[in-house]
Chain A
Amino acid sequence: MKQTIYRSQDGLEGGASAPAAEVPAELAAAAQAATDPKGAAPVGPTKISARDVSVFYGEKQALFDISLDIPDKTVTSLIGPSGCGKSTFLRTMNRMNDTIAGARVTGRIDMDGEDINARSLDPVLLRARVGMVFQKPNPFPKSIFENVAYGPRIHGLTRSKAELAEVVEESLRRAGLWEEVADRLHSPGTGLSGGQQQRLVIARAIAVNPEVILMDEPCSALDPIATAKIEELIDELRERYCIVIVTHSMAQAARVSQRTAFFHMGRLIETGDTEEIFTNPRERRTLDYITGRFG
């Protein structure tokens, strides 16, 4: 199964030079498999709903009136060429744009019907509910244990040391890293390999038991084997969390996500079931992008 999917990457590259604007068969197959693994629509109820969201960096507008529903217990992938605003949109969902000087967000983003940009909502609280994984693995220069324990500690989620140790173990297990690090929990997290570091920061994110996990190109700095592990992990995490992933790899979007949104020049061009986007896109630009005509 996975083998086929990996070949689809080659298929995509081949597709770039192919004259016909057709979605490569493997890509479509992968998309179908991801969308419909057991023959039933897996998409949950809407978790986050964005309405007319625009983002400005100073005078420059980076996002134009994005309206998008993100379902729970689903992997939604945001795809598009570099600079299209997909990372910016991702960062509006945990208000990380607040940390950038001169950034301004308009429009409304609701999570479970609650406006996350409301004054009454503390961004610190929001970020405890919406975890984030970055492009470059960024563990704290502390021990593996301390990395995972950090969230529960600052949010006061555990009452005893034993409970904290339990949470750490559970998180590392769910991130598929426990077996590899169980005997060296107190060695520095920065000493792990890139793929392990990325799973460590995923463990760190899920240790606070968030509702949503945002991933900003989580595999772009990793080799194919580490990428496969992360993708498997994403697939498992989907059962409990609402996951939004930004990716540059069409194959990855097809493999891991059930919903896909295509961004271009700061606008949302098309959104729908991954299978539909990859087999039968409505927009010409979407087709051109996923077949490698540009981007």
Chain B
Amino acid sequence: MTETRDAMTATRLDRLRGGLKRRYAREARFRLYGILAIGVAVAFLALLLGRIIDQGHTAFYAHDVSVPVYLDPAEIDPAYPQGTNFEQMVAQQQLASRGLEGDAAGPLAAEMRGLFSSELKFEIARRVAEDPSLIGQTVTFDVPVSDEADLYFKDEISIDTPPEQRRLTNQQIGWLDQLEDDGNVRAHFNSRLFTSGDSTEPELAGVLGAVIGSALMLMVTAFLALPIGVAAAVYLEEFAPRNRLSALIEVNINNLAAVPSIVYGLLGLALFINWMHLPRSSPLVGGLVLALMALPTIIIATRSSLKAVPPSIREAALAMGASRTQTVFQHVLPLALPGVMTGAIISLAHALGETAPLLLIGMVSFIPGIASSITEPTGALPSLIYIWENASERSFHERTAAAIMVLLTFMIVMNAAAILLRRHFERRW
């Protein structure tokens, strides 16, 4: 009797043990899949970031060259210095110093001109206009080398590069080597990238215009989408009667969140530019379009965080004799705020990177200036990336990657802010 029972217990235990082994094996397998999935995700991210950094890190430094220039009184009209062909003047002097005189407008002078950024002529004109007494002296100017020369100093191209894949001639490379050997070339942090607007010359182009444009646009978006979105969500969630109309509105908001962004761009073009005649390419129009786009997301995020507030808090406030408005604004909304902020910031970060609608409202035009108000034309970071990537100059490509890094930094900062805000406010719970 006891033996039979023991035997039964033993088989039972064996079966349990076998099952247990299978269960653990399944768990281990599942963990492995999870780790693999995360591994793949991390690998893709690393690949993406790695490529961007690999391509873009060279954009953060640039080369300057010191050029001694004899400000020839025979060529410079003190009353109108910018009328002088400084580039040609410098090229001639450089050629002369190398014993290559007499090639007035010939190909050698053109090659020599190609070593220096066009900044050289502006710099000379500026200095002479400031101080005409410089005329007749020899002044040394520190200016960027041309974008092709910069690539050469960064070892992107060399004398071994097949001539059809480079724009520098062997002659130019020889001159560049000579300049470097004489100690006239200096590598430095490319602060121009962060302090200037767009330019057709890669060595002079910077992201500041686009950063300011994006920031202004985001401000417009935040000022519009946040209050409207939160107000709409609070009304729908807390005050609106539950009927067919509110159900219809809810479905439509969810649909709006899924509308492709280019459609918002078309809407913005038709509504804000063609009908309301707001200035094209301006952060105002961009911000309005992005606000339309961000609204549904903000409403949905706000509603779900309002829903997550425990009903006991509502009941407590109502039972204390708080009115519905007091209940919402003194209790429910403050508790939902971390969720609202997180949702809002994430949808704003999303809007920041949105490119398609900007294409339609004129933000992909070449705009070298830096906007100082929301009605002035400006570029934006994503459209700048688009423009630069399409540019033919090779030097723009490293700058594209640099602009992507700036945009990503923006987004990381915003997402970090979202997490910090949530942490900070949630502590009160």
Which of A's residues lie within 8 Å of B, judged by CB? 94, 96, 99, 101, 124-128, 131-132, 134, 136, 138-141, 150-151, 154-155, 188, 190, 201, 204-205, 208
Interface residue from A101, A136, A138, A154 paired with B321 (Cβ < 8 Å): A154
Residues of B within 8 Å of A150, CB to CB, are 320, 322
The minimal Cβ–Cβ distance linking A41 to chain B, given in whole angstroms, is: 31
Give the complex CA separation of A264 and B197 in angstroms: 79
Contact A201 B318 (CB under 8 A): no
Contact B320 A208 (CB under 8 A): yes
Q: Told that A127-B320, A131-B320 touch, could you supply 4 new A-B pairs with CB distance under 8 A?
A: A101-B242, A124-B323, A138-B312, A140-B313
With A124-B322, A124-B323 in contact, is A136–B317 under 8 Å at CB? no
Contact B429 A134 (CB under 8 A): no
Give the complex CA separation of A48 and B318 in angstroms: 21
The minimal Cβ–Cβ distance linking A213 to chain B, given in whole angstroms, is: 11
Nearest residue in B to A133 (C-beta to C-beta)? B319
Nearest residue in B to A127 (C-beta to C-beta)? B321
Contact B326 A131 (CB under 8 A): no
Interface of B, helix, strand, loop or mixed by DSSP? helix
Give the complex CA separation of A109 and B254 in angstroms: 44
Give the complex CA separation of A136 and B313 in angstroms: 11
Residues of B within 8 Å of A128, CB to CB, are 321
Residues of B within 8 Å of A154, CB to CB, are 320-322, 326, 330
Nearest residue in A to B323 (C-beta to C-beta)? A124
Residues of A within 8 Å of B321, CB to CB, are 124-128, 151, 154-155, 208
Binary A-proximity of B310-332 (CB < 8 A = 1, otherwise 0) = 10111111111111001000110
Within 8 A of A (CB), among B401-429: 428-429
Residues of A within 8 Å of B335, CB to CB, are 141
Contact A138 B322 (CB under 8 A): no
In the assembled complex, 27 residue pairs joining A and B whose CB atoms fall closer than 8 Å, in A order, are A99-B314, A101-B242, A124-B322, A124-B323, A126-B321, A127-B318, A127-B319, A131-B319, A134-B312, A134-B315, A134-B316, A134-B319, A138-B313, A138-B315, A139-B316, A140-B317, A140-B331, A141-B428, A141-B429, A150-B320, A151-B321, A154-B321, A154-B322, A154-B326, A154-B330, A205-B320, A208-B320
Residues of B within 8 Å of A96, CB to CB, are 315, 318-319
Residues of A within 8 Å of B330, CB to CB, are 154
The minimal Cβ–Cβ distance linking A189 to chain B, given in whole angstroms, is: 11
With A101-B242, A141-B335, A141-B428 in contact, is A136–B312 under 8 Å at CB? yes
Give the complex CA separation of A204 and B313 in angstroms: 13
Nearest residue in B to A139 (C-beta to C-beta)? B316
The minimal Cβ–Cβ distance linking B418 to chain A, given in whole angstroms, is: 21
Nearest residue in A to B327 (C-beta to C-beta)? A99
Give the complex CA separation of A190 and B242 in angstroms: 32
Nearest residue in B to A188 (C-beta to C-beta)? B428
Residues of A within 8 Å of B322, CB to CB, are 124, 150, 154
Give the complex CA separation of A131 and B310 in angstroms: 20
Interface residue from A132, A155, A188 paired with B319 (Cβ < 8 Å): A132
Residues of A within 8 Å of B242, CB to CB, are 101
Give the complex CA separation of A282 and B104 in angstroms: 126
Give the complex CA separation of A227 and B322 in angstroms: 28
Nearest residue in A to B314 (C-beta to C-beta)? A99
Residues of B within 8 Å of A99, CB to CB, are 314-315, 318
Give the complex CA separation of A155 and B312 in angstroms: 21
Nearest residue in B to A94 (C-beta to C-beta)? B319
Closest 9 CB pairs of A and B: A127-B321, A132-B319, A138-B312, A128-B321, A138-B316, A151-B320, A124-B321, A124-B323, A154-B322
Residues of B within 8 Å of A190, CB to CB, are 429
Nearest residue in B to A101 (C-beta to C-beta)? B242
Give the complex CA separation of A205 and B330 in angstroms: 17
Residues of A within 8 Å of B313, CB to CB, are 138, 140-141
Residues of A within 8 Å of B314, CB to CB, are 99
Nearest residue in A to B241 (C-beta to C-beta)? A101
Residues of A within 8 Å of B323, CB to CB, are 124
Residues of B within 8 Å of A124, CB to CB, are 321-323
Give the complex CA separation of A141 and B338 in angstroms: 14
Q: Which of A127, A139, A204 has most B Cβ within 10 Å?
A: A127
Give the complex CA separation of A99 and B314 in angstroms: 10
The minimal Cβ–Cβ distance linking B358 to chain A, given in whole angstroms, is: 42
Nearest residue in B to A214 (C-beta to C-beta)? B319
Within 8 A of A (CB), among B296-355: 310, 312-323, 326, 330-331, 335
Give the complex CA separation of A96 and B326 in angstroms: 16
Q: Which of A126, A140, A151, A155 has most B Cβ within 10 Å?
A: A140
The minimal Cβ–Cβ distance linking B314 to chain A, given in whole angstroms, is: 8
The minimal Cβ–Cβ distance linking A12 to chain B, given in whole angstroms, is: 29
Residues of B within 8 Å of A140, CB to CB, are 313, 316-317, 331
Give the complex CA separation of A151 and B318 in angstroms: 11
Residues of B within 8 Å of A188, CB to CB, are 428
Nearest residue in A to B319 (C-beta to C-beta)? A132
Nearest residue in A to B316 (C-beta to C-beta)? A138
